[in-house]
């Protein structure tokens, strides 16, 4: 499964859920406030900007935002909310595409770094972030913690969410650090619709090493955008990496 095939026109049209899920005010609000603080009055670059879930309210908050996005249908959906002058977007891979200018903040939210399916691509993503940042700039990643503790011996899948009409489960390849998320949607009948997305999961310590390879230092790690303490039981984290002030370019 290629990412450009997964994020097609159908996915883009169904991605936005205004006011609920990951678009709920209690999710968006803390995210935007924290990113605006980290931008420090400078320009922000969002890797995998998608339909503008975060970029649009962040720009409305007064932070100039540019994006990089692989999927043209996702860009088209973003354009129904903001024009090119308001939020410029470069079509391309977040591990290699270049946006013009220099930024104080690069950010990558909602587990999207795991869409890069090899360690080499994920390291390249860190290095691409460093190329775009001015000295002292920050790279922020929001990422889930692999739930391998929930896997019984011999089992390969975990159910990570269920509600009426929906079931989400992950199947793991623990040798290759690969996981496929399966999204089942069903009604009253016998049939269900399945949507699948592949990922490469990353442990926090491995993520830190990727940052070091790109010249970053870990500045902070919290369990959420509001600054809750990150513990062994946290299901996700927001990690802030910073370039040294006097970086040799």
Burial of 25 (0-12, 13-18, 19+ CB in 10 A): exposed
Specify whether the CB–CB gap between 181 and 126 falls below 8 A.
no
State whether 170 and 77 are in the same domain. Answer: no
Radius of gyration for the chain, computed over Cα atoms and rounded to the nearest angstrom: 18
Q: What's residue 249's pLDDT?
A: 45
Which three-class secondary structure state does DSSP give residue 23? helix
Same domain flag for 78 and 165: no
Q: Is residue 45 part of a domain?
A: yes
21 contact partners, CB below 8 Å, separation of at least 6:
27
Q: 58 and 178 share a domain?
A: no
Q: How many domains is the chain partitioned into structurally?
A: 2
In this structure, are 124 and 219 located in the same domain?
A: yes
One domain for residues 61 and 18: yes
End-to-end CA distance of the chain: 36
Give the pLDDT score at 35: 98
- Domain containing 65 equals 3-145+202-242
Q: Looking at the DSSP assignment, which residues form a beta bridge with residue 193?
A: 185
Backbone angles phi, psi at 173, to 5 degrees: -110, 95
pTM: 0.91
Nearest to 35 by CA among 116, 106, 134, 110: 106
The answer on 133 and 72 residing in a single domain is: yes
249 falls within a domain: no
List per-residue pLDDT tens for the chain, 249 residues long.
666 666 767 777 777 787 888 888 999 999 999 999 999 999 999 999 999 999 999 999 999 999 999 999 999 999 999 999 999 999 999 999 999 999 999 999 999 999 999 999 999 999 999 999 999 999 999 999 988 888 888 888 888 888 999 999 999 998 899 999 999 988 888 888 888 899 999 999 999 999 999 999 999 999 999 999 999 999 999 999 999 987 444
Same domain, 61 and 153: no
Is 99 among the domain residues? yes
pLDDT of residue 4: 64
Co-location of 191 and 72 in the same domain: no
Residue 141 CA to residue 242 CA, distance in Å, equals 12
My answer on whether 122 and 172 are in the same domain is no
Answer yes or no: do 177 and 140 share one domain: no
């Amino acid at each position: 499964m290629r990412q450009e095939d997964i994020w097609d026109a159908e996915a883009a049209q169904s991605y936005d859920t205004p006011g609920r899920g990951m678009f709920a005010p209690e999710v968006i609000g803390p995210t935007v406030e924290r990113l605006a603080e980290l931008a420090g009055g400078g320009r922000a670059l969002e890797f995998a900007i998608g339909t503008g879930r975060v970029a649009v309210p962040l720009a409305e908050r007064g932070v100039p935002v540019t994006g990089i996005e692989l999927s043209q249908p996702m860009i088209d959906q973003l354009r129904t909310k903001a024009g090119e002058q308001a939020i410029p977007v470069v079509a391309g891979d977040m591990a290699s595409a270049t946006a013009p200018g220099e930024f104080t903040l690069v950010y990558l939210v909602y587990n999207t770094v795991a869409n890069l399916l090899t360690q080499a691509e994920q390291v390249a993503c860190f290095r691409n972030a460093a190329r775009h940042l001015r000295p002292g700039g920050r790279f922020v990643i929001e990422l889930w913690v692999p739930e391998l503790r929930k896997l019984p011996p011999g089992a390969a899948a975990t159910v990570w969410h269920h509600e009426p009409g929906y079931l989400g489960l992950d199947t793991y390849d623990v040798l290759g650090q690969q996981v496929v998320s399966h999204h089942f949607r069903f009604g009253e009948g016998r049939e269900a619709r399945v949507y699948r997305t592949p990922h490469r999961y990353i442990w926090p310590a491995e993520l830190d090493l990727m940052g070091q390879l790109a010249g970053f230092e870990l500045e902070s790690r919290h369990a959420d955008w509001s600054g809750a303490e990150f513990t062994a039981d946290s299901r996700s984290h927001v990690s802030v990496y910073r370039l040294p002030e006097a970086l040799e370019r």
